[in-house]
Structure 1
Amino acid sequence: MTAAIPLASSRLAARPGVEATPWVLMYHSVSECTDDPYRITVSPDRLDRQLGWLRARGMTGVSVAGLLAAHREGRAAGLVGLTFDDGYADFLHAAVPLLRRYGFTATVFVLPGRLGGQNDWDPLGPRKPLLTRDGIRAVAEAGMEIGSHGLFHTNLVLADDEQLRRETADSRKLIETITGAAPDGFCYPYGLVDARTVEAVRAAGYGYACAIAPGRLAGPHALPRTYIGAQDTAPRLRAKLVRHRWRSAKVAAR
């Protein structure tokens, strides 16, 4: 059983001028969509405004791998991790141009078991196409980090041991066949994580993993993230940043 890994005592321990817990934002789809029951979509215009808000405050969006590397070296001040879950095809056409305009990078967590498929795991809402093999390569060539979201967007907490191994280890191997490099990052579908899934992700060779609110499991293989949606205008972003800094200060004080 995997023990909890407090951020303050792990490789992510804060250094002078660097928050104890890196700020990582969680996006999904970027498109014009009025039917959005799960609140997973931001419009390109809203994303543009959100990225501009970060830039105006001297912040730079980076991939999670880049953020963690900078954090370990004590040079992460002003950096924020940008993640996009599910590997929607609209990331390539709608998000990448905006990220490059601001000089930002991001991490995209893809589903190699659903290449060119759609979000069939969502019973409600519109069908959204997912990145193809060529689309994933194009995203990587644009300077974005590719991570794994498992094979099929499966709730890993409920998976049996063999399914858990396939979703973590096999998805990593498949992504390597697409991009030529084994991904360093994993993202738990639905943000759900327990000690067994953390251990499986670590055993599969991932250097880090993203969750949502992992609680006592928070650490390099269960990084907390801040949800960002269509309603997040400047005041809400400011409030979320303040909340993150308050929580980070509590971690540093442990």
Structure 2
Amino acid sequence: MAAPDLKRRAPVPWVAMYHSVSDCSDDPYRITVTPERLEKQLTWLRRRGLRGVSMAELLAARARGEGRDLVGLTFDDGYADFLTGALPVLRRQGCNATLFVLPGRLGGDNAWDPLGPRKPLLTADGIRRAAGEGVEIGSHGLTHVDLTRAEDSTLKAETVESRAALAELLGTEVDGFCYPYGTVDRRAVDAVGEAGYSYACAIDPGPLNGPHALPRVHVGQDDHTVRLFLKYRLHRLRRRPVEGLR
């Protein structure tokens, strides 16, 4: 079998970044969409022949030279409202997603957001329930630390130990990582690769490229049809092709 051509480049896949799905009346960081807004956004995708899937499904399809009708749906932080706000909408729309969680904060809250409001995070049982529904579970680190500012010991814990903790919790390997705050540099990318993840999501990785520095597009409550269209079209125009993807 021929070795994969790691130098090959392909148009960057469109990956949407969500966080909390619940009431957004108190949302200083603009990380929340209502279930109704999410439903309309996924309906917009489906009407254009696109389907939201997990990163695992998206990247597997791209590796086969397929999947141009797929978009990645990711949910950061592992909020408990994923089960009540997001999952029912995903099921109605025939979509799937990747949920990036924090095994060092199981059942805790988003203490890293000083302005609040406090939002509960999934427990271990909640994460297992999401996985049992077919949702891909990935690591968001242990405790939501900016990896570009972390000491070596912390960087290792946030990458290696979070993967091990999730593997024990789920009874399966964990392939995906998501950089907290979206911040990334070469040191963080190398640490994630060395920890054994096959891919990692950022927001805007700048000059970094490859499966461990995948860009995403923030999707929020104010993203109606016109804004979604512009974000979808401009994403490929503004992003460089990704090395190692077909």
TM-score, normalisation: structure 1 = 0.91
TM alignment of 1:1-254, pairs within 5 A:
10=6, 13-14=9-10, 20-247=11-238, 251=241
What is the Cα deviation at residue 33 of structure 1? Answer: 2.3
For residues 10 and 43 of structure 1, what CA distance do their matches in structure 2 show? 40
What is the Cα deviation at residue 10 of structure 1? Answer: 4.1
Could you say what the CA RMSD is over the residues aligned between the two structures, in angstroms? 1.3
What is the Cα deviation at residue 244 of structure 1? Answer: 1.4
For residues 33 and 216 of structure 1, what CA distance do their matches in structure 2 show? 34
3-state DSSP of counterpart to 2:77: coil
What is the Cα deviation at residue 239 of structure 1? Answer: 0.5
For residues 11 and 118 of structure 1, what CA distance do their matches in structure 2 show? 41
For residues 172 and 9 of structure 2, what CA distance do their matches in structure 1 show? 28
**Which blocks of at least 5 consecutive residues in structure 2 are unaligned?**
none
**Quick check: 1:12–1:72 contact (8 Å CA) kept in 2?**
no
**Which blocks of at least 5 consecutive residues in structure 1 are unaligned?**
1-8, 15-19
Number of residues paired by the alignment?
A: 238
What is the Cα deviation at residue 139 of structure 1? Answer: 0.3
Change (3 A) 1:197 1:222: same
1:82-104 deviations in Å (ceiling 9; x for gaps)? 00000000001111111011111
**Quick check: 2:14–2:217 contact (8 Å CA) kept in 1?**
yes
For residues 125 and 31 of structure 1, what CA distance do their matches in structure 2 show? 14
For residues 11 and 102 of structure 1, what CA distance do their matches in structure 2 show? 36
TM-score, normalisation: structure 2 = 0.94
What is the Cα deviation at residue 11 of structure 1? Answer: 6.9
AA aligned to 1:64 is: M
